[in-house]
Structure formats: C-alpha cells, structure tokens
A and B are shown apart, each in its own frame.
Chain A
C-alpha cells in the first residue's frame, strides 16, 4: 500500500467504512510507516476533541419563548406579505393609474361638450332643416306679438329701444 492512498483509508477507517482486508492492509502499513502512523494519531486527536465535547443546552423555556413568536408571526403574516410586495406595488399602481387617466382623456368622448341642436336632431334621425323652418315660423309669430307689445309700451312711456 502506498502512503499516497493511505490517508483516505485512515479517514474512512474512523467511519467504519473499510472492508476487513482493507483494514488489515492499513494496519500492516501503519506498523511500518511512522509518517502515516503520525497522521493517523493526528486525525484521532482531532476527532476525539470534537466528539468528546460537552455541548451546551438551549436557553431555558425554549417552547415558552417560541410559542408567542409563532403567534406573532401568524398575525403578522399578511403584513409581511404586504411588506414584501406592497412596496413594489405602489409605483406600479401609480403608473397604471396615470396611464388609465391619459387613456380616458385621449380616447373617450368628452361628455361635457353639448351637442348642437342640429347634431341632436341628426342623432335622433330627424331632418334639422324642417325643424328649423318650423321653429323660425313659430318664433316669427311670437316675435311679432312681442314687438307690438314692446312698441306700444315704448310709445306710452316716451322711451326708445
């Protein structure tokens, strides 16, 4: 067995992964090779140090401290989601509102603009000229009567229009 391959076998031997014959061959090599023997002792030292340690315990009242945190996390869950996505949603919403407003201004008909009388008549599929003529005729008679009344009043009061 070559020293080059021995180190890996030493490492694997600590995990009980060597076959019987491999284990035997390793032991034979270690007997005759002080360098590999030293390496093996170094590995053993490190592993003993790691495994022989007394571990501390978690701080007391582990569950009692955990329980309120779980409840708190539960109640803040929607808030957390809002924190995650809400901040990004704000500028996106503002842009969407702006674009919508622009679209409304540009493309929708202006409701404030009143239709002309003839336009309204055309919309109702009526002839505006016919309506206008009758209107003028009607207005003409009233105007004549009104003019007579006003003229009579002016003459009585001695004033002129």
Chain B
C-alpha cells in the first residue's frame, strides 16, 4: 500500500495502517533522536513520544509535505524541547566532557587501534554536543543522517542557502574544536 494511503487510513484511526508507518520510520526517527541525545534509552523514549504526538496530530496533516519530512520535523522539535528542559543538566555534562577531551588527547586518540577509533568517535560526538543547538541539529541531519539539503530545508523551515551556510559554519566550528585531537587518517568522501 502507498504511503499516502497509509497516512489517510491512519487519519481515520486505522491502527494497522499506523503500525505500518511506525515500522517504516521507527529506525530513522530513533537514529535522529539518538544522534541528538546520544543516549539509547532516551532516544527510544523520544521516538515513542514522537509517534504518539504524530498519531494525535495526524488529523491536522494536510499532505503539504512528505509524511517523513513532517515526522522528522516533529522529532527535531521534540528533541529540542527535551534538550532545552534538560539544559542545566547538559551544562554539567559539557563541563565534564571538556575535561574528558583533555584526557583523550593524551591517552587514546593517537593510538592506532580500535579502541582509539572508538574514542575518536566519542570525542567527535562530545564536541558536537557542545555546539549551539542549531549547529548540532544541522550536523545531525546532514552528516549523521545524510539527508539532502532540500529535505533539511523543509524540516527546519529555512532556505537551502541557509542550510548551506549554517552547515559550513557548524563544520568549521567543529573542525576548529577537534583539530588538535585529530590524527591524519583519510577517508572516502566524495571530492
């Protein structure tokens, strides 16, 4: 069955249709929530709450955008609310992360083994968590979720030009934060 039909049936209260939509999007929504919160259980809770919100907001969905885009928008807003509410706690975490960045520099990042790779990943994500919210969100959508500029523009309700400049700014800040800790490994990104 087509997605539009599933959405239409869900709007009429058909639970099976909604279950199909949940099945299709649960991993994407969970991944986005996870990339923003970096906590498995919190991300799972967020994903569940997003689907509950979506279910009750469905009668107001007017097919002006793709259902997936609409769902992503709910997720971003929901997680933003959560992060704002947890603001004070986040500040404490950021302080502890700053300390751990120094620890990682001396002890693990430069070691060429799996553990070091895992630590580097941790380091990058910790640095992302310290970024202002708008940079954190755009990096999650583009560089972690791999969404195209057009969809990001619709989710965040900003122009593609703003996506471009905000993304560049976010990457630049992140690179500057991480430059002292990064080793010289290359990669496979398109050039």
Which A residues contact B (CB, under 8 angstroms)?
Answer: 7-8, 11-17, 23, 27, 39, 41-51, 53, 55-59, 62-63, 65-67, 69-70, 73, 77
Contact = CB atoms under 8 A, between A and B. Distances in A.
A62 B189 contact: no
Given A47-B187, A63-B19, A53 B121 contact: yes
B191 A23 contact: yes
**Closest 4 pairs between A and B when the two form their complex, measured CB to CB:** A48-B187, A58-B30, A44-B187, A11-B168
A11 B191 CA distance: 10
Q: DSSP majority for the B interface?
A: helix
B27 A42 contact: no
Contact of A46 (B26, B56, B124, B191): B124
B52 A57 contact: no
Contacts of A23: 191
Contacts of A11: 167-168, 171-172
B190 A16 contact: yes
A39 to B, nearest CB: 7
B135 interface: no
A66 B184 CA distance: 45
Contact of A58 (B15, B27, B143, B167): B27
16 contacts: A11-B171, A42-B175, A42-B178, A44-B187, A45-B184, A46-B143, A47-B189, A48-B189, A51-B146, A56-B43, A57-B27, A58-B30, A62-B26, A65-B48, A69-B48, A70-B18
A48 B188 contact: yes
Nearest to B167: A11
A65 B51 CA distance: 12
